């Protein structure tokens, strides 16, 4: 369950780093905070996740989100990651993370093969993390 | 003051009726007329160029408070209606025109230009076969199709699809195909017999999209910002017609007015139109000789039901149910994006044993929406979805299928005692044609999977019709072939509420042609 004390700044930093691999730029963090109403929304229907534990223990959000998305459907962590992806997509610094400006078929195929294998590993890791750290609210 | 004609609404039907009546009689257009907050002039390049140059203003693309991201928490909302500057199209309709849907998730527009603000620009004529249960012939509509096409500007190619899309001289040149569209068309031409055996034909689009200057409107720039920037001059919007008529003073336009009902004075007297001024000025009353209902099929039907104070009757309701078939061209994986292209590339037509009626589809490239709208559909961890967006999206197409609603209507609509609408829609069986389409494209290197197809709830096509159908012997809630409700020449249904059936193709061009036709008839009865 979300609480007013949920550390939004820490949440943003942790999710962004997991996605892009570098610290969140201050302006993007400010945009995340400006979306607080959306980020904190709990309209029901989506599975609640213990965000506090994930942030405090710096758990692998990518692995947890992927397992939840596959096995449990709509969930709060997935929604947060998706919001961060939208913010990052619009940031000039990440243009090449989303957009292929030049053709690179060989790189694309090898990259997708690697991500297929990596996703399988993340799935297994996510299953372990969710159970080991009791991340789902009962 | 007694107006010769009052038109309710400024969408395709209202604009076309106004175009016919303007200058010939005193015309008042009443409209809620929500307008865009701004024109989005900052979106002056393709979204890729905007992102690359650091000019992708999040306030315009996702909203200051993320209002375009509500799809994350809420039900499906078309990418065309999500963006901050496009939300005016469907703004406030639940408050102004509440509908309780059962298996039906409609979108109603009170915007100037109506739902055509989110139009995919498909401009197709109905065929004689599609009009077979209408009490009018194709020959009666053809002159009006021609007038509308000349007015709005339609681009396309004469490529053997005329029998289906309608023969049309005066087409503007077709827009250039993207690499993906070119590959799909070549795949079809190379394996035409195999596609045809499965029931599919593929051809160039017919679009209300300008490939060169047309009147005072500039050509479409192909920058993929139409999901974010309202009233793009290169794609026809009914408001352009209204705007021009207002400018020359041949119609009077009054917005911020919600029309609720009408009454007629005796068998031959005037029509009294009643509504609310939404600026808080209270009730409004106007008087006219002819009332043209053009508020969109659902809103026009609501006005009729409210006027008759009938909460017992169930009106028929038709809707093009839709599906989406994603496909990836394997050879195109790893290609660079094409910043400039037209989203709607090709028309796909299915005629075969899997559907009693033809099913029309549009083949779209993926350049227009924000790619994260789709990223999490890939069965990969988050960084994998980012890589998939980068490498696979330029190779990805979506085929959107529209199912006809012919024969007995799929749904019904009625007025509740609290004046909200109840609407229910039956289920259209989908999935078989999608599987055949995937199989047809597979040998050409386009790969899809039935599990990835999406089947939005009924109502998401924005194509609604058939509540007040045209017939030769109209009852109280039916129209004559001239659109006269219950045969009363004073009340004319000009929008798709008067359609007898709903074929699978976009109905906007036919709404406009028919609205001009019935407005022409109304004019003749006025001057008699």
As a whole number, mean pLDDT of residues B312-337 equals 96
pLDDT at residue A41 above 60? yes
- What's the pLDDT score for residue A44? 65
Q: Which residues of B touch A122 (CB under 8 A)?
A: 381
pLDDT at residue B90 above 80? yes
CA pair distance B59, B228, nearest whole angstrom: 11
What mean pLDDT is reported for chain B? 93
Residue % of chain B over a pLDDT of 90: 77
Whether residue B375 and residue A105 make contact (CB cut-off 8 A), yes or no, is no
Assign A2 a pLDDT band (cuts: 50, 70, 90).
Answer: low
Q: Which residues of B touch A46 (CB under 8 A)?
A: 73
Residue % of chain A over a pLDDT of 90: 71
Q: Tens of pLDDT along B456-509?
A: 999 999 999 999 999 999 999 999 999 999 999 999 999 999 999 999 999 999
Whether residue B394 and residue A100 make contact (CB cut-off 8 A), yes or no, is yes
Q: Pick the more confident residue, A101 or B275.
A: B275
CA-based nearest residue in chain B for residue A43? B73
Whether residue A111 and residue B337 make contact (CB cut-off 8 A), yes or no, is no
- What's the pLDDT score for residue B296? 97
CA pair distance B200, A126, nearest whole angstrom: 44
Instruction: Please check whether residue A30 touches B, CB under 8 A.
Output: no
- What's the pLDDT score for residue B432? 96
Say if CB B158 and CB B171 are below 8 A apart: yes
DSSP state, A6?
Answer: -
pLDDT at residue A4 above 60? no
Assign A1 a pLDDT band (cuts: 50, 70, 90).
Answer: very low
- What's the pLDDT score for residue A5? 47
Whether residue B62 and residue A90 make contact (CB cut-off 8 A), yes or no, is yes
- What's the pLDDT score for residue A54? 94
- What's the pLDDT score for residue B42? 84
Best B180, B382, B451 residue to mutate vs chain A (most A CBs within 10 Å): B382
CA-based nearest residue in chain B for residue A71? B379
Whether residue A109 and residue B56 make contact (CB cut-off 8 A), yes or no, is no
Residues 81-110 of A with CB under 8 A from B: 81-83, 85-87, 89-90, 92, 95-109
Instruction: Please check whether residue B64 touches A, CB under 8 A.
Output: yes
Smallest Cβ–Cβ distance between A92 and the set B51, B69, B334 belongs to B51
Q: Which residues of B touch A48 (CB under 8 A)?
A: none
pLDDT at residue B39 above 90? no
CA angle (B411 as vertex; B99, B199 as ends), nearest 5:
125
Nearest by Cα to B428 from B351, B482, B359, B378: B359
- What's the pLDDT score for residue A138? 59
Helical (H) or strand (E) element with B286: strand B282-293
Q: Tens of pLDDT along A44-85?
A: 678 889 999 999 999 999 999 999 999 998 888 999 999 999
- What's the pLDDT score for residue B123? 95
CA pair distance B294, B14, nearest whole angstrom: 5
As a whole number, mean pLDDT of residues A102-130 equals 97
Q: Which residues contact B211 (CB under 8 A, 6 or more apart)?
A: B155, B172, B173, B174, B175, B219, B220
Assign A42 a pLDDT band (cuts: 50, 70, 90).
Answer: low
CA pair distance B377, B396, nearest whole angstrom: 13
Burial call B50-74: b when 16+ CB within 10 Å, e when fewer: bbbeeebbbebbbbeebbbbbebbe
Task: Give me the sheet containing B200-204, strands edge to edge.
Answer: B200-204, B344-350, B359-364, B396-402, B322-329, B446-447
3 state SS of B487: coil
Q: How far is B225 from chain A (nearest CA, A)?
A: 14
Whether residue B392 and residue A89 make contact (CB cut-off 8 A), yes or no, is no
ipTM of the complex: 0.94
Residue % of chain A over a pLDDT of 70: 92
CA pair distance B283, B427, nearest whole angstrom: 40
As a whole number, mean pLDDT of residues B381-397 equals 94
Q: Tens of pLDDT along B128-152?
A: 999 999 999 999 999 999 999 999 9
pLDDT at residue B41 above 60? yes
3 state SS of B13: helix
How many helices (H) and strands (E) chain A has is answered by: 8, 0
Say if CB B485 and CB B493 are below 8 A apart: yes
Q: Tens of pLDDT along B154-191?
A: 999 988 787 888 877 889 999 999 999 999 999 999 99
Q: Which phi and psi (to 5°) does residue B318 adopt? A: -120, 150
- What's the pLDDT score for residue B419? 86
Say if CB A63 and CB B381 are below 8 A apart: yes
Q: Tens of pLDDT along B399-452?
A: 999 999 999 999 999 999 988 999 999 987 899 999 999 999 999 999 999 999
- What's the pLDDT score for residue A60? 97
As a whole number, mean pLDDT of residues B304-320 equals 96
Q: Which phi and psi (to 5°) does residue A45 adopt? A: 95, -40
pLDDT at residue B528 above 80? no
Task: Name the pTM for this structure.
Answer: 0.94
């Amino acid at each position: 369950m979300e609480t007013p004390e949920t550390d939004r700044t820490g949440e943003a930093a942790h999710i962004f780093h997991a996605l892009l691999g570098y610290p969140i730029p201050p302006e993007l963090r400010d945009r995340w905070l400006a979306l607080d109403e959306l980020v904190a929304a709990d309209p029901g229907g989506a599975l609640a996740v213990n965000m506090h534990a994930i942030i405090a223990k710096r758990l692998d959000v990518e692995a947890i989100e992927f397992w939840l998305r596959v096995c449990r459907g709509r969930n709060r962590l997935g929604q947060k990651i998706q919001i961060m992806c939208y913010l990052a997509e619009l940031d000039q610094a990440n243009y090449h993370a989303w957009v292929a400006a030049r053709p690179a078929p060989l790189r694309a195929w090898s990259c997708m093969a690697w991500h297929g294998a990596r996703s399988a590993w993340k799935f297994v890791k996510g299953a372990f993390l969710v159970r080991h750290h009791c991340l789902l609210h009962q | 003051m007694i107006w010769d004609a009052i038109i309710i609404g400024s969408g395709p039907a209202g604009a076309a009726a106004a175009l016919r009546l303007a200058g010939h009689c005193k015309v008042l257009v009443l409209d809620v007329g929500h307008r865009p907050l701004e024109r989005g002039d900052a979106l002056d390049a393709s979204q890729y160029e905007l992102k690359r140059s650091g000019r992708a203003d999040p306030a315009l693309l996702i909203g200051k408070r993320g209002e375009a991201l509500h799809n994350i928490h809420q039900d499906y909302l078309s990418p065309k209606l999500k963006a901050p500057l496009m939300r005016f199209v469907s703004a406030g309709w639940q408050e102004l025109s509440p509908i309780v849907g059962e298996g039906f998730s409609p979108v109603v527009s009170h915007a100037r230009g109506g739902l055509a603000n989110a139009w995919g620009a498909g401009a197709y004529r109905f065929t004689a076969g599609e009009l077979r249960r209408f009490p009018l012939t194709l020959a009666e509509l053809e002159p009006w199709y021609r007038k509308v096409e000349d007015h709005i500007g339609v681009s396309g190619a004469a490529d053997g699809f005329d029998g289906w899309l309608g023969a049309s001289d005066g087409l503007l040149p077709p827009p250039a195909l993207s690499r993906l569209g070119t590959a799909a068309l070549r795949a079809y031409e190379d394996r035409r017999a195999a596609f045809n055996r499965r029931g599919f034909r593929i051809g160039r689009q017919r679009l209300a999209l300008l490939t060169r200057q047309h009147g005072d409107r500039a050509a479409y720039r192909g920058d993929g910002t139409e999901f974010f920037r309202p009233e793009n001059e290169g794609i026809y919007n009914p408001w352009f017609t209204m705007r021009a008529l207002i400018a020359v003073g041949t119609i009077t336009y009054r917005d911020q007015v919600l029309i609720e009902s009408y009454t007629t004075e005796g068998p031959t007297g005037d029509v009294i139109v009643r509504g609310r001024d939404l600026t808080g000025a209270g009730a409004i009353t106007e008087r006219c000789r002819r009332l043209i209902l053009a508020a969109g099929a659902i809103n026009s039907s609501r006005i009729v039901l409210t006027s008759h104070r009938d909460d017992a009757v169930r009106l028929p309701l038709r809707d093009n149910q839709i599906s989406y078939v994603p496909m990836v061209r394997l050879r195109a994986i790893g290609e660079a994006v094409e910043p400039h292209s037209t989203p709607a590339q090709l028309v796909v037509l299915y005629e075969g044993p899997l559907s009693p009626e033809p099913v029309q589809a549009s083949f779209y490239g993926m350049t227009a929406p924000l790619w994260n709208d789709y990223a999490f559909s890939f069965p990969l961890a988050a960084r994998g979805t980012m890589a998939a967006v980068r490498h696979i999206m330029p190779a990805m197409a979506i085929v959107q299928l529209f199912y006809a609603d012919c024969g007995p209507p799929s749904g019904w609509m009625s007025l509740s005692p609290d004046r909200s609408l109840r609407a229910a829609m039956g289920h259209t069986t989908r999935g078989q044609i999608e599987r055949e389409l995937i199989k047809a494209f597979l040998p050409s290197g386009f790969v899809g999977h039935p599990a990835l197809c999406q089947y939005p709830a009924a109502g998401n096509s924005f194509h609604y019709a058939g509540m007040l159908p045209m017939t030769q012997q109209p009852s109280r809630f039916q129209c004559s072939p001239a659109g006269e409700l219950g045969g009363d020449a004073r009340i004319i249904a000009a929008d798709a509420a008067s359609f007898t059936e709903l074929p699978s193709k976009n109905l906007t061009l036919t709404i406009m042609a028919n609205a001009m036709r019935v407005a022409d008839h109304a004019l003749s009865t006025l001057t008699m």
